[in-house]
Copies of this chain bind each other. A is one copy, B any other.
């Protein structure tokens, strides 16, 4: 099963008509992870027919408005929709106070468990872990405390090799789970059939790294090394490298350098400054360094 990434918004700062700020939906191993939540994200989720109840985990990179001003509205809407399942929110320290203050003053506490996981470490840390997926922070370099996130599938069960298994009448359905778990099989005559003779390797686990907002910051390379897909912000082109450095954003060339050095498979770029009308220029610039680059665009779906 491939990983599916839907871009709900990919523009920086000031919202414009048909230019939503940052939000992404990552579908990975039946999880629906919402990554950042700029103003208007809940409308974007409706537009792209995402069932609200499927979202159980939201990851907020930092507390600049274009990455989280849509969160309180979404949290409130979940309440109006009579949600009862847990909602986990991962984001910088302070986010809980912002959301709960507004719920308190509007006298509308959630009718579902709202669980904040506030982040303050400047080291990469494991923040989500279940049997299928783990998520680590990627400390970034920006004007305020900011994390990217790396989503890693875990190695799945081994696949049954039915044409081999069918050669042994002693192997019954009730043995299948042990085989999937990697165990060898012992025949009645004492002979041991090695697991590898009966099963196939599981699919290679996929990984996705999200890095926005950040200055050019090679420290992230060891963390994102070899990921299948990297989203890296490109607020500016190289013509404004000085401004990028000043505001702690990246140019398309810098994002491509990170992708190349980290040996990622695919690079998606976005978080474009409103100064640039022509997004193709970002692609051209990044491709000078890293060929397998794609432009984020609202509604675009990437599978890997």
Q: Footprint of B on A, CB under 8 Å?
A: 13-17, 39-40, 42-43, 46-47, 63-65, 69-70, 72-73, 76-77, 80-81, 92, 94-95, 97-98, 101-102, 105-108, 143-144
Contacts and interface: CB of A to CB of B under 8 A. Distances in A.
A60 B43 CA distance: 22
Contacts of A95: 105
A43 B65 contact: no
Given A16-B46, A39-B69, 6 more contacts: A15-B40, A39-B42, A39-B43, A94-B101, A95-B105, A107-B144
Contact of A105 (B39, B43, B46, B63): B63
A286 B97 CA distance: 43
A144 B15 contact: no
A14 B94 CA distance: 25
A63 B102 contact: yes
A111 to B, nearest CB: 14
A81 B16 CA distance: 13
A93 to B, nearest CB: 9
19 contacts: A13-B80, A14-B77, A14-B80, A15-B40, A15-B43, A15-B73, A15-B77, A16-B46, A39-B42, A39-B70, A65-B106, A69-B72, A69-B73, A94-B101, A95-B105, A98-B98, A105-B144, A106-B144, A107-B144
Contact of A101 (B81, B98, B106): B98
